[in-house]
Amino acid sequence: MSVDYLKRILTSKVYDVAHETALEPATRISRRIGNTVLLKREDTQPVFSFKLRGAYNKMANLPVETLRRGVIAASAGNHAQGVALAASRLKCRAVIVMPVTTPQVKIDAVKALGGEVVLHGDSFTDAAEHAAELQTREGLAFVHPFDDPDVISGQGTIGMEILRQHPGPIDAVFVAIGGGGLISGVAAYIKQLRPEIQVIGVQTDDSNAMIRSVQAGRRLKLADVGLFSDGTAVKQVGQETFRLVREYVDDFITVDTDAICAGIKDVFQDTRSVLEPAGALAVAGLKRYVAQHKWKGKTLVAITCGANMNFDRLRFVAERADVGEAREALFAITLPEQRGSFLRLCEAVGQRAVTEFNYRISDSEKAHVYVGLQIRSEAEIEKLAAHFRKQGFPTLDLTGNEMAKTHLRYMVGGHSELASHEVLYRFEFPERPGALMKFLGAMNPEWNISLFHYRNQGDDYGRILVGIQVPPSDKKAFRAFLTTLGYPHWNESDNPAYQLFL
């Protein structure tokens, strides 16, 4: 069925709940990267996200008798609040199925808007399946978070506003992609009226279902997705959004966690507003795309699509932003365990500011030091490493080593002769009571835990680093344990940072 998205967007019923958000210059970012950067401030909507546009447009177009029965949605975040607010304006019932892992602050926000919250399952998939059962049982209308023409059209009003607010030249618009509803609507409008404007999608390195699907020519389903940018953590994109993205989106870029943290800091410095990770994704992608393509003097728009940030996460964001904006480099530096070595290393560092310095004696011949240094650009990292090597200090760049940045910096301690047959794994698990007990309960009691690190970062999920002593004869059983557990995990046993420090 062909959908006239231009007509649907122009006639969308979004402004009963949404307002036309500002398109404002990001002067600091613009000056630093040599391009004019404009921020489309969807983080300033009543629910601090663009999601209410699509939700309201979908619900406002439902037949009166359908609306009278009520609507249902599955969401742990911004879509839930959008549906609840839309329902309160339309005076209809809204049931929101959320995973039991959903933070209380998000549950309370939905309830405050009048939504009926049903908690079910550990994941969004579990919640969505239960929502489908309730929809059938109670005759409710399902409001999809992204794969629906009315939802897509509601989000497309953002593209309409951008062109109206800035009728002059625009070279590119950068849009975050989760399931694809936002970029589908924006691209469908912009490319039909101003085809010279590039629409560029941004995803995280570990949640790139749309990019991989476009490359494969069919929708792929990811086994796991990274959870830091939880608003875009989608395992499979929609059928209609996939079709529209293939037709209208010009290019894609991916970014990592550090780049997103730097994007949050960038926007804060320009606006004094704090975005959520998904909200800063377009800014992070814009910066990386500009650097890769060496763009100068262009006019670029980034949609800041959400600001539902858990305050406790700011600690993690602040720690990682300097690496993300190439303001900090991390190294493992080896020096001889003898008098004067530290002094020689300090002389090699010179006047450069030290951001971190971790060391513990572990060997009579040599010492391994974890060092953080302030830098001005990414190009300095390899120059610094070469400088230290020239001074006689073997040096390993850890700036891009996730295990080192998340865990190692808090636990430099040296080797243990007792840790025989040790394997090292990173895990991510829901940040809720019982998650750690599930991990320990599933593990063979004969396997000894020889290393453990966890630090609460204020996220919806926890990160742990675990050393487990697994005899060679138990390797098959250990693989089965990992499969049964079901938590995202990474084998770090060959990580050079682990070999040096732990």
Indicate which CATH number applies to the domain containing 84.
3.40.50.1100
Specify if 416 maps to a domain.
no
Report how far apart, in Å, the C-alpha atoms of 130 and of each of 87, 118, 260, 375, 394 are. 20, 9, 32, 50, 55
| Dihedral, CA of residue 213, residue 218, residue 223 and residue 229, to nearest 10 | 30
Task: Tell me how far apart the alpha carbons of residues 488 and 485 are, in angstroms, rounded to a whole number.
Answer: 9
Report how far apart, in Å, the C-alpha atoms of 55 and of each of 138, 390, 437 are. 20, 60, 38
> What's the rounded mean pLDDT across residues 420-430?
84
> Six-digit token pair at 366?
């040599």
C-alpha count within 13 angstroms, C-beta hemisphere, residue 256: 12
> Six-digit token pair at 96?
């929101």
The per-residue pLDDT for 259 is 94
| Residue 45 amino acid letter | Q
pLDDT surpasses 70 at 253: yes
CATH number at residue 383: 3.30.70.260
DSSP 8-state secondary structure symbol assigned to residue 140: P
Q: Which of 49-63, 65-79, 264-278, 485-499 has the lowest mean pLDDT?
A: 485-499
The per-residue pLDDT for 483 is 87
> Six-digit token pair at 4?
């006239």
pLDDT tens-place string over residues 466-502: 888 899 999 999 888 888 887 888 899 899 888 887 7
Q: Indicate the length of the chain as a whole number.
A: 502
Residues 6+ apart with CB under 8 A from 382: 397
* Domain identity same for 167 and 135: no
Listed residues 75, 110, 142: the one ending a domain:
142
* Domain identity same for 232 and 157: yes
pLDDT tier, 97 (very low <50, low <70, confident <90, very high otherwise): very high
Listed residues 100, 122, 142: the one ending a domain:
142
H or E element in which residue 133 lies = helix 124-138
Listed residues 142, 167, 196: the one ending a domain:
142
* Domain identity same for 391 and 428: no
* Domain identity same for 228 and 343: no
Specify if 479 maps to a domain.
yes
User: Do 242 and 219 touch, CB atoms closer than 8 A?
Assistant: yes
The top-scoring range by mean pLDDT among 43-57, 73-87, 408-422 is 43-57
pLDDT tier, 2 (very low <50, low <70, confident <90, very high otherwise): low
> Six-digit token pair at 211?
């990019």
* Domain identity same for 120 and 26: no
H or E element in which residue 255 lies = strand 251-255
Beta strands in 198-250 (DSSP E): 198-204
> What's the rounded mean pLDDT across residues 183-193?
98
* Domain identity same for 377 and 448: no
Q: Which residues lie across from 37 on neighbouring strands?
A: 300
> Six-digit token pair at 305?
């699509």
What is the Cα Rg of the chain in Å?
25
The per-residue pLDDT for 102 is 74
Specify if 297 maps to a domain.
yes
pLDDT surpasses 80 at 340: no
Q: Which residue shows structure tokens 């509803």?
A: 181
* Domain identity same for 301 and 359: no
The per-residue pLDDT for 227 is 77
pLDDT tens-place string over residues 399-418: 888 888 878 777 767 677 77
Report how far apart, in Å, the C-alpha atoms of 15 and of each of 21, 34, 182, 432 are. 11, 35, 17, 37
Provide the mean pLDDT of the chain. 89
Which one is predicted more confidently, 265 or 351?
Answer: 265
With pLDDT > 90 as the criterion, what percentage of the chain qualifies?
A: 56
Strands 23-25 and 36-41: antiparallel
Cα 333–Cα 334–Cα 335 angle in degrees, nearest 5: 120
Specify if 277 maps to a domain.
yes
* Domain identity same for 21 and 118: no
Cα 124–Cα 459–Cα 129 angle in degrees, nearest 5: 5
SS3 sequence of 446-484 = CCEEEEEEECCCCCCEEEEEEEEECCHHHHHHHHHHHHH
pLDDT tier, 203 (very low <50, low <70, confident <90, very high otherwise): very high
* Domain identity same for 33 and 113: no
Domain count, the chain: 4
Task: Tell me how far apart the alpha carbons of residues 371 and 64 are, in angstroms, rounded to a whole number.
Answer: 64
Question: Could you tell me where the DSSP H helices lie in 254-306?
Answer: 257-271, 281-293
* Domain identity same for 46 and 56: no
| Residue 259 amino acid letter | A
Burial (CB count within 10 angstroms: exposed 0-12, middle 13-18, buried 19+), residue 351: exposed
Strands 299-304 and 251-255: unpaired
The per-residue pLDDT for 457 is 61
* Domain identity same for 230 and 192: yes
Q: Which domain holds residue 11?
A: 5-50+149-322
* Domain identity same for 260 and 159: yes
Specify if 92 maps to a domain.
yes
pLDDT tens-place string over residues 439-459: 777 778 788 877 777 766 656
